[in-house]
Structure 1
Amino acid sequence: MNRILRFFSVIALSLACVSGVSAKVSVSARLDSVSVLMGKLTTLNLEVVQDKGKPGGFPLFRNADINKGYVGICGDSIELRTSYKADTIDLGSNRIQINYKVPLQAFDSGSYRLPEFVYVSESDSARSNALTLNVVPVNVTADDPIAGFAQVAEPEGKSVLDALPDWMVDYWWIIIAILLAIVAFLWGMRRYKKEGTVLKKKPEPTPYETAIKDLRELKAKNLWEQGMEKEYFTRLTDILRIYLARRFGINAMEMTSREIMDHLYSSDVKDKRDYVRQILSVADFVKFAKVRPLPADNIAAYDNAVRFVEETKPVPVVAADAEEGDGQNPEIKKTETKKGGES
């Protein structure tokens, strides 16, 4: 019999402990009105029962942005003001009841199911019951009087962007892209009228660079070594004639060998005529008399072409006037580049 009594005593004590733990914190929620006009205020009442001396609160409000002054729920369609009131009632037996009165406002019409509000007190927490709120739209006409609503207020943190239309603020990047495209178009048109092109022209190679490049390519083909002396000298004289035309302005492509020599005699490079004479002479024999030159003549013609181009290219000329003074260094004047008749 004693064992049976002890068994039921242990069970009763265990149930009392469990019920005591589950009753530590409880939360209930209700609305002053379950139907509210859009834009109007109503009150959300949250009643919390807990032990005395234990701090607690709703994380929803604790984590809110103080500067905003409200917490958005239901997709931000409903706002709960953070400036709520809280009154405490002593229930005795080391228990208290805290009544939270939270202003609630909605700006979108419809039916909303409010979430369960979580209250946390130290290691204990509890959830409130869920609520349903109906937000009634405001149906007005142009003739209806406006009453019961606050006046239009200036927005906080007003800036010059508030005067712009919403589409300009939303699509500012498209506007900037269009403006940049217009600026680029105007710049391109101006450059085209001034220089005849939009993109910067790549500098053309000098007559010297072109001639040396062509001579190297001709040598790499090994034409005369393959018995193609006529093709070899035709290309060699073309390179030389183009160089004379670009470097000295001589229309060598339309001249005979004799006319080219006469023009060189009256030019500043008449002392270099022997190079050209050897090339043209051998070339005329090969092209017109069908003479096969010796390998030495082929090599000499190529070497003379290279020498003529190298020795007649424009070279920088340094003009310096040394003025001697008492303890002073000579002054070096600026360097000028001799054009040399380049066209």
Structure 2
Amino acid sequence: MAWLCNMKRMKRAGDISADVRRNLACPAAFLLAAILFCGVSCGRKKEDEPPAKPRVEETSKDRITVTMVFDPPRVRIDRDLLMTLRIAAPSEMDVEMPSLSDRLTGFQIAGVMDSGRRSSEGTSVQERRVLLTPLVSGEYRIAPLPIVYTDRSRTPPMSGWFPTRPVLLDPVAPAGGKSPGDIEETLSPFRIPPSGRTIALWLLALAAAAAAAWIIHRAIVKIRRAIRLRRMSPKSRALFELDELLAENLVEKGRVKDFYLRLTMIVRRYIERAHGIRAPEQTTEEFLAAAGGNPRFKPAVLERLKAFLEAADLVKFAAHKPTPQTVANSVATAREYIESDAADNPQGGA
């Protein structure tokens, strides 16, 4: 009997729990439905939200009304902006449509379309649509536009102009992004190694620059040397050239013929500068014949010059190999002649 009573109590408790669950299920279902309806309604409201109205800026003066319409009213870096410029004026007034070439900051003109001039009830209206592409900039601005007009109702016609007000447009960040003014560079510089062709061109350019520098240096040295030699007297120049020749050690290098050729040219150029005889261009015979008729050349001097030049001709043209003593005597003869001739003719040779 006790067992049967317990079973009846448990059955009643189960019935009561089922009733409780049924009573709680209704409010929970109602609450869930309300949440879903609210979410759908809010989302539909956001989707059905009308777009922002275009921004309108208007300037009026002397019966002329200039209207600028910007759609959308704020700048988005990910879409173009349409600017409509409308000018309304009396039919007897001619108004020029202003240019935007240097009036934009932060924009680039993507397209222009003019709708032409239309008149109605004594009012002339002209309109221009400009498609502007925003650039990454800290400011988006339309500078004042000069409105130039001519009033033909007056005699004579009167011309004038007035500016529109500047327009500053606010930027708006694209979905999930930053506004144009807040865009920052996050990538660090990446070095791209030069190609082999680029390196070769660099080396070629460096070689060309080095060659040009060397040529310029040599030219400067030669010019300075030429200026220095021109300022010297015939004697000083001849002795300077003789010292330069000896410093090159041509005889020790086996270039005896070149040594004698330059040695005789030093003496011949000295004679040309000191006495006006074109000795460098004459043969030994022609020079001796010309010098024999010049009173400045004494017979003893001519004999020494003849022996000096003929000994040099043997080396230059007959492949004669002089001894070191002969070479030293030739140098001494050239030096002694230059110094003694300059002493005897101080006006020409010194």
Q: TM-score range by the shorter chain?
A: 0.3 to 0.5
Q: Which structure features the higher share of helix residues?
A: 2
Q: Over alpha carbons, which structure has the higher Rg?
A: 2
Q: TM-score, normalised by structure 2?
A: 0.34
Give the TM-score, by structure 1 length. Answer: 0.34
